[in-house]
Structure 1
């Protein structure tokens, strides 16, 4: 029991998830095993099983954690005061871009990995994330009096526009702060094109 408690204190779920996230992105999901994650952390792979039954469970925990973080960011936009010069929809879009650029490893796992074995883990969470985004966009576009506010393709077009922007800049590992003016111009263009 004492050895298990020592492992629990030294090797936290967070630490395992952070290492696994990095390895999944840099080497690919299939190339990584629980043993290689353990070696990367300097522990036996057996100590990982105390926290996760298998690699798929570990991957899913990472995906859920990252999408929950975005969900929280979206909800914070709802509660935050208006920022001068930006609509709520623009604030929401900027927050999404900021997350993607400032958390590139998370974003890549959430939206850019294409391994068939793990795609199912992402699809449900992607859908949940998009549904929240779409509901917020529709609500505020309606309040702001946009003619196409009720059109179902508008939130998807905006979301895809954001994803394209993030995907383009994420390659160079640029932070949001480095391209914030381009991000603002992009969300304003997306918002005004409706």
Structure 2
């Protein structure tokens, strides 16, 4: 490995270390209680080092969200390629993949979908990886309507309603661990089945 390649890898590793520490601290303490200085102390670097990678705390937060959206979009994209001839099967499995992703990566999910910073983070959804992830869901709904798997519905309203449902289940299972939920898989499957049946022709 050459010197330049080694430096590039070290820079990437440090950037990831900053992201991982910030994510953990945002979940533990809340966005507004965490400063760039605190993050620097956690990883034992100077605050100046963090500013070499991120413009400010809002930029760091947005990059954490984009990292999570990219991981989710990758899974949904791979699933879509396996279900090119059956959009309904893709939609059903995609909703399950979304929930499973959140439950497997609760800190990622909490930062991207549950935390609500008081300050504006200027997140541009239209140009984001988050929109790409959501578009997998929207496209699946659109194709189901076009193929008459669903009755005639407004695509945007339906996609957002489906997202609201699976987000609700995911967030509740992450946040309210002391609630006496029924068996997790039964709750998830019932939620998805109820939503899908309500949309079918």
SS at match of 1:51: coil
On the 8 A contact 2:36/2:50 being kept in 1, the answer is: yes
Deviation (angstroms), 1:103: 1.2
On the 8 A contact 2:145/2:153 being kept in 1, the answer is: yes
Deviation (angstroms), 1:14: 1.0
On the 8 A contact 1:63/1:121 being kept in 2, the answer is: no
On the 8 A contact 2:83/2:90 being kept in 1, the answer is: no
Task: Output the CA distance in 1 between the equivalents of 2:157 and 2:115.
Answer: 24
Show the counterpart of 1:164: 168
Deviation (angstroms), 1:36: 0.4
4+ runs deviating over 4 angstroms: 122-128
Matches within 5 A, 1:25-174: 25-80=27-82, 87-118=89-120, 120-121=122-123, 123-124=125-126, 125=128, 126-143=130-147, 145-149=149-153, 151-172=155-176
In the superposition, the TM-score normalised over structure 2's length comes to 0.78
Deviation (angstroms), 1:52: 2.2
SS at match of 1:187: helix
On the 8 A contact 2:62/2:121 being kept in 1, the answer is: no
- In the TM superposition, what whole-angstrom CA distance separates every residue of 1:35-68 from its partner, at most 9, and x where no partner exists? 1001111222222233223222222211111111
On the 8 A contact 2:79/2:90 being kept in 1, the answer is: yes
Alignment RMSD, CA only? 3.1
Instruction: Say if 1:151 and 1:132 are closer, same or farther in 2 by CA, change over 3 A.
Output: closer
Deviation (angstroms), 1:95: 0.6
Instruction: Say if 1:40 and 1:8 are closer, same or farther in 2 by CA, change over 3 A.
Output: same
Task: Output the CA distance in 2 between the equivalents of 1:78 and 1:7.
Answer: 32
Instruction: Say if 1:96 and 1:180 are closer, same or farther in 2 by CA, change over 3 A.
Output: same
Show the counterpart of 1:186: 191
Instruction: Say if 1:35 and 1:115 are closer, same or farther in 2 by CA, change over 3 A.
Output: same
Task: Output the CA distance in 2 between the equivalents of 1:88 and 1:6.
Answer: 38
Structure 2 residue runs of 5 or longer lacking an equivalent are: 1-6
In the superposition, the TM-score normalised over structure 1's length comes to 0.80
